[in-house]
Amino acid sequence: MNIKYIKKMPTEKEIMEEMPLPNNIKEIKKNRDAEIRKVFENESDKFLLIVGPCSADNEDSVCEYIGKLAEVQEKVKDSIIIIPRIYTNKPRTTGEGYKGMASQPDPSKEPDMDAGLRAIRKLHIKALSEYHMPAADEMLYPENYTYLSDLLGYIAVGARSVENQQHRFTVSGVDMPVGMKNPTGGDLSVMLNSIKAAQDGHTFIYSGWQVETSGNSLAHAVLRGAVDSYGKNIPNYHYEDLINIAKEYEKQKFANPSIIVDTNHANSMKLYKEQPRIAREVLMSRKDDSLLKKMIKGFMIESYIVEGKQDVGRGTYGKSITDACLGWEETEKLIYNIAENL
């Protein structure tokens, strides 16, 4: 095998013992988790906003951003639950480029995944301890989430991972909401199959063990648009798209059928400033149809302190080094607008 073994990684138990979550925060997280769960189980009418940077690249700026979210959360708490995006693993279409804090805790230096695991746990603990909002992260690698399993409030499985059997089976053993994105090609049957697999129990090999899972009833759909074979973006947030997927979803008889709409990626054609318009359109569709109002539980929004994106090393504080994001002022306006139009 053409593999060079560099360093044995610590286990999740070792990392958790080295960097434990403070006991007083555990109860806060438990209560927040229950609030989020009630939304997916139709016991709460609150709307979810999974909002934050495309990738978490800097502890200070990410925490400053989440502090701003926390202030807004207090003002909209009667109708909205904000789940900060702290995405520490970044999928890359070609495998090139910045792969997230878990790989490169310092984007300007060489990958160091040992330091990366400690950096991402430190970031999640700090954000949760200071602002009391369990965050979302992406399950890019099926075993990585275990290093954060006591900290996260939400997990996303990306468009490139949703067809992977190991991701689907791993989600079946997770006890929190997991959003399964439609694949990049847009085949909704693939997404629905992934939800089916995640909601069922399985026996498989995981982390060197034969394991058995009981299924995750909170696995659900995330619509992020698609790209056809000619590279053209195909959005799936319009009324007709939403009705189509909601009716097909309903036929499948899944537990807790729920939809999150991703306002960026192929839905916005990566035109990040379109996100507020897309959110407004989806809210109108949701108001006009009882099935959509029941199924559409929230949005994913890419946002940071400074709008746009920059190359690694350019050094603008709080500006994305991966996909372009809304800036804070527009984000704050958008959150208030959503709250007023639910």
CB-based contacts of 97: which residues, under 8 Å, 6+ apart?
90, 322
Query: What would the two tokens of residue 62 be?
Result: 């990410």
Q: Residue 6 falls within a domain, yes or no?
A: no
Q: Residue 7 falls within a domain, yes or no?
A: no
* CB 291 within 8 Å of CB 251: no
CA dist., res. 182 & res. 184, Å (int): 7
Give bridge partners of residue 181 from the DSSP assignment.
Answer: 222
Give the alpha-carbon dihedral of 183, 339, 174, 53, to 10 degrees. Answer: 60
**pLDDT the model gives residue 90:** 79
The total number of structural domains in the chain stands at 1
**pTM score over 0.85:** yes
The number of beta carbons lying within 10 Å of the beta carbon of residue 204 is 16
CA Rg value for the chain: 19
Nearest to 51 by CA among 104, 87, 21: 87
**pLDDT the model gives residue 1:** 74
Query: What would the two tokens of residue 275 be?
Result: 């996100």
The number of beta carbons lying within 10 Å of the beta carbon of residue 140 is 23
Nearest to 52 by CA among 277, 325, 295: 325
Q: Residue 179 falls within a domain, yes or no?
A: yes
Nearest to 126 by CA among 22, 13, 12, 52: 22
**pLDDT the model gives residue 144:** 86
Note the maximum CA span of the chain.
58
CA dist., res. 302 & res. 143, Å (int): 25
Query: What would the two tokens of residue 190 be?
Result: 């693939």
CA dist., res. 62 & res. 70, Å (int): 12
**pLDDT the model gives residue 328:** 98
* CB 48 within 8 Å of CB 311: no
Where residue 278 sits, what CATH number does that domain have? 3.20.20.70
Give the alpha-carbon dihedral of 297, 151, 182, 234, to 10 degrees. Answer: 80
Q: Give residue for tokens 């555990």.
A: 26
**pLDDT the model gives residue 100:** 85
Q: Residue 231 falls within a domain, yes or no?
A: yes
CA dist., res. 287 & res. 341, Å (int): 9
Q: Which domain holds residue 69?
A: 12-340
**pLDDT the model gives residue 92:** 73
Q: Residue 5 falls within a domain, yes or no?
A: no
Q: Residue 2 falls within a domain, yes or no?
A: no
Query: What would the two tokens of residue 158 be?
Result: 């990306």
- Cα torsion angle, 135, 139, 140, 143, sign: positive
DSSP assigned state of 325 = B
Q: Residue 1 falls within a domain, yes or no?
A: no
> What single-letter amino acid sits at 296?
I
pLDDT 10s per residue in the chain (342 long)?
788 888 899 999 999 999 999 999 999 999 999 999 999 999 999 999 999 999 999 999 999 999 999 999 999 999 999 999 999 987 877 767 788 898 998 888 888 999 999 999 999 999 999 999 999 999 998 988 899 999 999 999 999 999 999 999 999 999 999 999 999 999 999 999 999 999 999 999 998 899 999 999 999 999 999 998 888 889 999 999 999 999 999 999 899 999 999 999 999 999 999 999 999 999 999 999 999 999 999 999 999 999 999 998 888 999 999 999 999 999 999 999 999 999
Q: Residue 3 falls within a domain, yes or no?
A: no
In the chain the beta strands, taken as DSSP E runs, fall at 47-52, 80-84, 136-138, 154-157, 178-181, 203-206, 209-212, 219-223, 226-227, 233-234, 259-262, 296-302, 306-309, 319-320
**pLDDT the model gives residue 258:** 98
